[in-house]
Structure 1
Amino acid sequence: MQVTHMLFLYLQVLNPFYVFQAFTLTLWLSQGYIEYSVAIIILSIISIVLSVYDLRQQSVKLHNLVEDHNKVQVTVMVKDKGLQKLESHLLVPGDTLILPGKTSLPCDAILIDGSCVVTEGMLTGESIPVTKTPLPHTENTVAWKSHSLEDYRKHVLFCGTEVIQVKPSGQGPVRAVVLQTGYNTAKGDLVRSILYPRPLNFKLYNDAFKFIVFLAFLGIVGFFYALGVYMYHGVSPRDTATMALLLLTVTVPPVLPAALTTGIVYAQKRLKKKKIFCISPQRINMCGQINLVCFDKTGTLTEDGLDLWGTVPTADNCFQEVNSFASGKALPWGPLCAAMASCHSLILLNGTIQGDPLDLKMFEGTAWIMEDCDADYCTFGMPGSHIIIKPGPKASWSPVEAIAILRQFPFSSSLQRMSVVAQVAGEDHFHVYMKGAPEMLAKFCKSETVPKNFPQELRKYTIQGFRVIAFAHKGLKMKKLSEVENLAREKVESDLTFLGLLIMENRLKKESKPVLKELHEACIRTVMITGDNLQTAITVAKNSEMIPGGSQVILVEANEPEDFVPASVTWQLVENQENGPEKNETCVNIGNSSVPDGARGSCYHFAMSGKSYQVIFQHFNSLLPKILLNGTIFARMSPGQKSSLIEEFQKLNYYVGMCGDGANDCGALKMAHAGISLSEQEASVASPFTSKIANIACVPHLIREGRAALVSSFGVFKYLTMYGIIQLIGTSLLYWQLQLFGNYQYLMQDVAITLMVCLTMSSTHAYPKLAPYRPAGQLLSPPLLLSVFLNTCFTCIVQICAFLYVKKQPWYCEVYRYSECFLDNQSNFSMNMSLERNGTENTTLIPGSVLSFESTTLWPLTTINCITAAFIFSKGKPFRKPIYTNYIFSFLLISALGLTVFILFSDFQDIYRGMEFIPTLTSWRVSILVAALTQFCVAFLIEDFILQNRKLWLWIKKEFGFYSKSQYRHWQKTLAEDSTWPPTNRTDYSGDGENGFYINRGYESPEQIPKAKLELEGQTTEQHFWTRL
């Protein structure tokens, strides 16, 4: 059901603040305060209309997003009735869909026959097409989703994605079974996340509400004060109630909602100019508190494209000479060349090869070409509807005319591998080619085919920062394609022959190193979370200076319980080595040294794999916070582990940012306080922020704007609080004599000053350099509360003194009555007034009278106070540029101050009549100006040199023993006092025990543990580490 404009309008107007605002404006209009009320009504109407329009547009887009898949015509296979066409909204789980070609998916379905290529950009922001394969046939009785683990997504077609290519298996059309429809689909989850986003647990918004409640409380105090004063003077109940309610409405400014969002609006506008787009504006303020940023590696810190460096083939269980691509020679034919040409997920779409950049670069390196299968290949006995690859003009000689890729087992970040089944033209049997992470792939190969020096050879390249991919092969004795189609992945990926390594260079982006340096100088932690090799990640971290020179790296390797040996965690120190003059790279080596005393604290970094993280999470949970405190490198991490890691950082009270570019990062991007997706799309539901510029320079931009917006919000809130208090004090003093400020006096304060100030105060740009500390994250902080309290005291002192002192002037008279001829009779504003001094007992007070020496004295004081408060609360450096760079705001302040001083000293009768002033002596006006400027100087000096003095507050906290309540601060203090931390060159076991060897009470035979321990101690540290790895 679509929501109508009237319903949106009704819901918006019922907002509690707008209800209070309507009450306030009604009261003001009844008292003749027309101009300002009309101005606020116009602004409120504009605000409501724009909000309703925006909400309506979003509702329509969301409705269209939901309804699009309901209008799709689909073909369904019905038992005993054959194929039928029907509307997609009639689909139910269990229906069998026929996918004829390019179409939009109206439901979640699992592919059971054939394969297809889809784009999932709407759900994940990933622009690379994804290949979907049919659910394998298996005799396993476990549920298919549990059996497939995270790899299940490779078989599922998600609602809202686009099918761009289908490939029948030869056994009929491409078929899929409906799993979910409507809001139960992945698209439904997306819609729900838009309708009901995760609530922001940000103290600013909670504190803002408390502040409004505090202002309302002050208004209630004023309300009862007014009741008492007017009842004491015997004013009628109706007038008493009216005047009391007027004082109640003074303390909560009507411009509050608009003012609090201006900082975010300006920041969002500036971010958009930098091509950073936002779908959750409220998170901009939260970006100002970020103190830890996680980065993906490939495509984020390093270039998207990989450069081919060379191949290392194997023969007779030994590595051969490197085939370098730098030589310009074609890759020689061999099993490794065939694997590189066929083992990928590339597709041919409209004559263009598309797919993962790594696969594209690898395929280009073979100089082979790709074609669709046609009649010529079918005559050679090759099956149709499959991709054909064959040697290109620049390829090396090959005895193979063509290879058909028959079946794919797509790459999965959780499995760290992919494989294909292929057939060589003219042959009647099939081949399996597999590629993936070297450590993972070696487990699926026959041990006799893996070179003995495999770990050393792998380290030789990974420690130089190369991306290393391993390949394997085996032949299948099956001769029928139908048999291949029914093979389970476990049977295909077993007993393979190791073929060799592909070495690829993954260069750092030129922006990565300076950005990381800028973040480090700003005391913002940086962490790498990648699916790549651990050693490669360490090298990239060192080369990018994410790990500064001179810092120690400790490898944390954890293992699951095995037989009678409990779960263990090994700590190994990495030593630095130099490769030599020809390559300025950093190498790492496992050593037996320990962390020196001077390197304790933040000068050591933990590095671990996703496997180790999972073991520690399950078996060493008490260790996890200690490790995370200095954990910098997390490699071979699955998407689920990335999200879990972000959540664990948040539990330590870090404000976490996440920057990534791939679909594997979606969960982490959503989990982080500020997720930044590097994507060509302007907005992606995968993350709150999207940068069209694909490098990490967007991160400091976002943090700077977040800090500026946060400081602006605080400044505006302090200003509006003081504005309400200033008016409350001034009005309360006048109420003592049953008087009021004039309409135009209020109008100038409310519109010409406060409204304009609030709309421009937040437009000051962010300071270009990140400060090494964050702005305050909560309104209810001692500096802010003390600032409001002291400014309130100064205001009270100045206004009360002026209120009392004016009564002692020789020319003072209590003006309770006046006539229109009063000002006319005072030619040249002579002080020889003919007014009666109404100080006698039989004088009758007129409630709500305006013309008085008190109001003439207090108005300039309160007005200048409002102007100077805006200046004081608009602090620039270190989070914003200086106030003079905000030209409009500065001009408005100078103009308002000039206008106020002009009115104060002018001797124009029309101005005095319009502003409802009484002429006073020039010396008295000078006294008013001096009092206002004195208050400004005292308030400015205290605000700037005491309340904003960070070193002073740190000293006070230290002297009085105040410490941060953040969990990570607590752990930092605890570990700083622990002389045994960090551990190095030892192995700990789960459970309790002594000497670093712990017994898990869950094991029934702990007596077996000492034997296992002795076996482990029989190995060298390095042998044990690499054996377990």
Structure 2
Amino acid sequence: MGAIEPTDRGTAAPRTEQWYRCSVEQTLANLQTGTTGLSPEEAQARLLHEGPNALPGKAADPAWLRFARHFNDVLIYILLAAAVATALMGHWTDTLVILAVAVINAAIGFFQENKAEKSLAALRGMLSSTAHVVRNGQKMEIDASELVPGDLIALRPGDKIPADVRLIEVHHLQVEESMLTGESLTVSKQVEALDAEAQLADRTNLGFSGTNISAGNAKGVVIATGAHTELGKINRMIATVDESETPLLRQIALLGKRIFQLILGMMVALFVIGFFWHDYPFGELLLSLISLAVASVPEGLPAIVSIILSLGVQRMARNKAIIRKLPTVENLGAMSVICSDKTGTLTMNEMTVKNVLTASNIFAVEGQSYEPRGRVTLAGATEPVVWAEHGNLAAFVRAVDICNDASLQRGDDGRWSVVGGPTEGALKVLARKAELPQAEVERFAKIPFDSAYKYMARRCDVDGESLIYLKGAPDVLLRMCDRQLGADGIQPLDRAYWEREMGHIASQGLRMLAAAYKPTPGAGHEIDHDDLQQGMVFLGVAGLMDPPRPEAIEAIAMCRQAGIQVKMITGDHPDTAVAIAGMLGMGNDLRAMTGQELEQTSDADLKAVAMQYSVFARTSPEHKLRLVRALQASEQVVGMTGDGVNDAPALKQADVGIAMGIKGTEVTKEAADMVLTDDNFSTIANAVREGRRVYDNLKKTVLFVLPTNMAQGLLIVMAILAGAVVPLSPLQILWMNMATSTTLSFALAFEPGEPGMMKRPPRDARESILNGFAVWRVLFVGGLLTTAAFQLESWMVAGGQDTDHIRTMILHTLVTAQWAYLFNCRLQDQFSLNAGLLRNVALLTVTLGLILLQCLVIYVPFMQTAFHTVALPFSSWLIALGIGVLVFFAVELEKLVIRRWKERR
């Protein structure tokens, strides 16, 4: 390809994704650098032009502004207006109580929901702190933030690559890039230019900022720094993703607007009626209208919602799911699609040998991950193999164990891990499972693995016999062998057999690795490639895979039963991804859409395609983000799981971002809404169940709170229309709303999930929490409470009771009836007493608390003065309880009628 145009300054690196298509000479020329590196003066000039090699931060809003935002709600506006009006009228007690309610609600929202945005800071922490650079031919160590395009850097095992580089010299370089690409294997790097377009995972001549050197050495020239690196692109995507509002918050906001419009219209109409028709004194009418506003506003609802969500968060934390953002709990209940990364999320992220193919048999290998436990059996058999009867199998295992640079170790926590590449680690685990007799091995020279020739070789003495072992790609080794080790000894190579059987292994989505050997009697200790060209004996092929998590299979089945689609989005090969998806039970007739196909699909077409496919392979961070947005455009509530940095933007865009807590990076955890502390996919299914329970309880709470507000509002409206005294004062209404409604509804937060909850489909996130049935229930119960209060008032007025006594009795009766209605709300459709009192001990607790609060407001002198109440005799308690029982059975009768009407339909 032609030279890339330099920037307008003429010294800095061009910002392009095409560096992998440039030769080393082109790259150096375009960057205007050479083998001796930049001069200090030129490096300083480029640093001033390009800026430091660091990711830009994001200024956080001050605490006062974040707190003030919680007053930005129409319901709070009504309260604040009421507080101003009462202050102007000199009712300071009313003013202080109303303001206290508004401030308490804001404080709850501030402390419960306002989490510091740390994902960008965590991402910046992934950059390397130092770099080994060549300037003016001199090697030096500098702060990584001072790197500029055109710098030559040296890379060694264990290094974190400090910037995006074009590799110009490599020596057996292996790089672990799963944080960016999702690939579970280390990547072998080379320096030759690539002819065709390549996805990120296939750009084998580039090194990316933040990835780790697993083995080998290299030199490279910096092509991008800071925000222009691949890590910087992810940083920009995270920074530009807007926080999505949950369905419940949208509905609560809409409910607030509707209530505001209703109150405003009613206040205007009632002012006209009261002032011009009934000749109400202006001050008294204004106080009555303030009572109407306070009565109609469910000011306790935000606090109740926060409390219920907080309790859901605590329950989930005990069940290994940490919720970072409070509304996530409700979103879980509406989730209809889970987009899951494969590596480390649905799979173990630990390569495992699943079978071994020899010239005579296929053997199955049991066990998961790196734990060296599991039997080796003949395929289809149940008994473990007798190793003495399968000499060619033992020879294969010995070969891959000795021709191997990895080691297996067990940590203090009992978890097994591998030092070295995951593929070689899996072969070490196989050798431990085999439990072969200990051999005396003396290792000599080796030829390290290199992607140029795709094998590794080692010369050694095993029990006194001089051998060369060879391990690598099956197609390469087959070309190098003319014989094979059969059950009865060495025999001619049957290439057709190996190709046929390896085709079966490949169809299972397994990666393959072959081994061969060669006796070298009397030879020396050195080895070169010529030693491998004749006399090699093919031993066999291992089929390896990153196995599915067993618990993920069960969790996916549970999600599908609950009507939740599961989609795999991975950077891995399409065939491997489809095979793993089949093992996970993600569906029949599975097909994979690749990242390249996705790039060629328009946003409009992707909206439909995203729903049709269950597997997306060879994807980049941009692809994952587009897929989440496409699903959201189809009105889906999307959950996205992941553990790598490449998952972070999609996690933040998703309605529910789910990070793995053990293997997940800090970036992923900070970008996510939920972190799984056990990295167990089944925890997601449990979290969905909890989310549905929480939403059910939130809906029950709304249906519990609103009828009381309606009843209070109707009492005031009817009193003004009739030209009578308003039955309740503003403070009495606030007492009922905050002290009793909040206290009683607290019990609903502890209601267990209803039967069959995980067998119903996800709710429609667009459906209002106040659907037709809910509106009817609010009207029905509100009407019951209003009728009961007016009948009681008429009876007491006829009996000659004074105003304070009547108001106290109406207050107490409404509170008692509301307590009785609480039991109606426990089950949405069934007879509420079937739920059983002992299933929710909180009911007894709030009942005792309510009795105590009512005694305080009715019998304590300073409370009587503040709230204009009087002491009530015990007979009044019995009357209020009787009215409450009538309300309870009236609502249960209504539920029975509606249930039978639905059954007939």
Same-fold call, TM cutoff 0.5: yes
Q: Aligned runs of 1:508-523 on 2, under 5 Å?
A: 511=551, 515=555, 518-519=558-559, 522=562
User: Is the counterpart of residue 137 in structure 1 residue 217 in structure 2?
Assistant: no
Match of 2:217 in 1: 168
**CA distance in structure 1 between the aligned counterparts of 2:785 and 2:829, rounded to whole angstroms:** 30
Paired residue secondary structure (1:606): coil
Query: Do the aligned partners of 1:674 and 1:688 also contact (CA within 8 Å) in 2?
Result: yes
Paired residue secondary structure (1:403): strand
Cα distance, 1:287–1:882 mapped onto 2, change above 3 Å: farther
Report the alpha carbon displacement of residue 703 of structure 1 after superposing the two structures with TM. Answer: 1.2
**CA distance in structure 2 between the aligned counterparts of 1:733 and 1:443, rounded to whole angstroms:** 95
Match of 1:43 in 2: 104
Instruction: Choose which of 658, 678, 684 in structure 2 pairs with 1:699.
Output: 684
Paired residue secondary structure (1:693): coil
Match of 1:150 in 2: 201
Q: Aligned runs of 1:181-330 on 2, under 5 Å?
A: 181-182=226-227, 184-192=228-236, 195-200=239-244, 202-232=246-276, 233-234=278-279, 240-241=285-286, 243-291=288-336, 308=353, 311-313=356-358, 319-322=359-362, 326-328=385-387
Report the alpha carbon displacement of residue 707 of structure 1 after superposing the two structures with TM. Answer: 0.4
Cα distance, 1:299–1:83 mapped onto 2, change above 3 Å: closer
- More helix by percentage: 2
Paired residue secondary structure (2:740): helix
Match of 1:799 in 2: 786
Query: Do the aligned partners of 1:331 and 1:365 also contact (CA within 8 Å) in 2?
Result: no
Deviations 1:813-864 (A, max 9, x none): 596xxxxxxxxxxxxxxxxxxxxxxxxxxxxxxxxxx6374x3553234323
Match of 1:788 in 2: 775
Cα distance, 1:98–1:63 mapped onto 2, change above 3 Å: same
Report the alpha carbon displacement of residue 774 of structure 1 after superposing the two structures with TM. Answer: 3.9
What TM-score, normalized to structure 1?
A: 0.60
Cα distance, 1:685–1:24 mapped onto 2, change above 3 Å: farther
Paired residue secondary structure (2:496): coil
**CA distance in structure 2 between the aligned counterparts of 1:507 and 1:335, rounded to whole angstroms:** 22
Query: Do the aligned partners of 2:514 and 2:539 also contact (CA within 8 Å) in 1?
Result: yes
Unaligned runs of 5+ in 1: 314-318, 369-391, 410-418, 476-482, 485-495, 548-604, 816-849, 957-1029
Query: Do the aligned partners of 1:343 and 1:434 also contact (CA within 8 Å) in 2?
Result: no
User: Is the counterpart of residue 716 in structure 1 residue 698 in structure 2?
Assistant: no
Report the alpha carbon displacement of residue 696 of structure 1 after superposing the two structures with TM. Answer: 3.3
Paired residue secondary structure (1:892): helix
Match of 1:478 in 2: none
Match of 1:501 in 2: 541
Report the alpha carbon displacement of residue 28 of structure 1 after superposing the two structures with TM. Answer: 5.2
User: Is the counterpart of residue 606 in structure 1 residue 667 in structure 2?
Assistant: no
Cα distance, 1:946–1:617 mapped onto 2, change above 3 Å: farther
Report the alpha carbon displacement of residue 98 of structure 1 after superposing the two structures with TM. Answer: 4.4
Aligned residues: 774
Match of 1:15 in 2: 72
**CA distance in structure 2 between the aligned counterparts of 1:860 and 1:83, rounded to whole angstroms:** 84
User: Is the counterpart of residue 891 in structure 1 residue 863 in structure 2?
Assistant: no
Residue identity matched to 2:842: I
Match of 1:402 in 2: 445
User: Is the counterpart of residue 864 in structure 1 residue 816 in structure 2?
Assistant: yes
Match of 1:594 in 2: none
Match of 1:739 in 2: 726
Deviations 1:684-733 (A, max 9, x none): 54454332334433132111111012222323333343343232223334
Report the alpha carbon displacement of residue 185 of structure 1 after superposing the two structures with TM. Answer: 4.0
Report the alpha carbon displacement of residue 891 of structure 1 after superposing the two structures with TM. Answer: 1.9
**CA distance in structure 2 between the aligned counterparts of 1:66 and 1:539, rounded to whole angstroms:** 30
Query: Do the aligned partners of 2:153 and 2:220 also contact (CA within 8 Å) in 1?
Result: yes
Cα distance, 1:648–1:791 mapped onto 2, change above 3 Å: closer
Report the alpha carbon displacement of residue 275 of structure 1 after superposing the two structures with TM. Answer: 1.6
Query: Do the aligned partners of 1:649 and 1:656 also contact (CA within 8 Å) in 2?
Result: yes
Query: Do the aligned partners of 2:130 and 2:162 also contact (CA within 8 Å) in 1?
Result: no
Q: Aligned runs of 1:813-832 on 2, under 5 Å?
A: none
**CA distance in structure 1 between the aligned counterparts of 2:860 and 2:673, rounded to whole angstroms:** 57
Q: Aligned runs of 1:99-138 on 2, under 5 Å?
A: 99=155, 107-114=163-170, 131=186, 134=189, 136-138=191-193
Report the alpha carbon displacement of residue 68 of structure 1 after superposing the two structures with TM. Answer: 5.1
**CA distance in structure 2 between the aligned counterparts of 1:719 and 1:136, rounded to whole angstroms:** 69
Cα distance, 1:23–1:784 mapped onto 2, change above 3 Å: same
Match of 1:469 in 2: 512
Deviations 1:130-180 (A, max 9, x none): 75655522274x6xxx34653238833224x5x5767435xxxx4441413
Query: Do the aligned partners of 1:131 and 1:154 also contact (CA within 8 Å) in 2?
Result: no
Paired residue secondary structure (2:842): helix
User: Is the counterpart of residue 354 in structure 1 residue 308 in structure 2?
Assistant: no
Return 635-644 or 688-697, whichever deviates more. 635-644
**CA distance in structure 2 between the aligned counterparts of 1:717 and 1:181, rounded to whole angstroms:** 49
Paired residue secondary structure (1:222): helix
Cα distance, 1:94–1:361 mapped onto 2, change above 3 Å: same
Deviations 1:654-697 (A, max 9, x none): 55556667788778767765454555158754454332334433
Query: Do the aligned partners of 1:215 and 1:721 also contact (CA within 8 Å) in 2?
Result: no
Cα distance, 1:190–1:689 mapped onto 2, change above 3 Å: farther
Residue identity matched to 1:705: E
Cα distance, 1:623–1:337 mapped onto 2, change above 3 Å: farther
**CA distance in structure 1 between the aligned counterparts of 2:574 and 2:268, rounded to whole angstroms:** 70
Query: Do the aligned partners of 1:264 and 1:282 also contact (CA within 8 Å) in 2?
Result: yes
**CA distance in structure 1 between the aligned counterparts of 2:309 and 2:795, rounded to whole angstroms:** 49
Identity of aligned residues (%): 15
Q: Aligned runs of 1:433-444 on 2, under 5 Å?
A: 434-435=472-473
**CA distance in structure 2 between the aligned counterparts of 1:356 and 1:667, rounded to whole angstroms:** 28
Residue identity matched to 2:711: I
Residue identity matched to 2:316: L
Deviations 1:22-54 (A, max 9, x none): 4444445652226744652662464376369x5
Cα distance, 1:865–1:762 mapped onto 2, change above 3 Å: same
**CA distance in structure 2 between the aligned counterparts of 1:10 and 1:616, rounded to whole angstroms:** 42
**CA distance in structure 1 between the aligned counterparts of 2:810 and 2:883, rounded to whole angstroms:** 11
Residue identity matched to 1:158: S
Query: Do the aligned partners of 2:132 and 2:155 also contact (CA within 8 Å) in 1?
Result: yes
Query: Do the aligned partners of 1:280 and 1:688 also contact (CA within 8 Å) in 2?
Result: yes
Unaligned runs of 5+ in 2: 1-57, 365-375, 377-384, 461-467, 483-491, 519-527, 530-535
Match of 1:840 in 2: none
Cα distance, 1:791–1:861 mapped onto 2, change above 3 Å: farther
Report the alpha carbon displacement of residue 304 of structure 1 after superposing the two structures with TM. Answer: 6.3
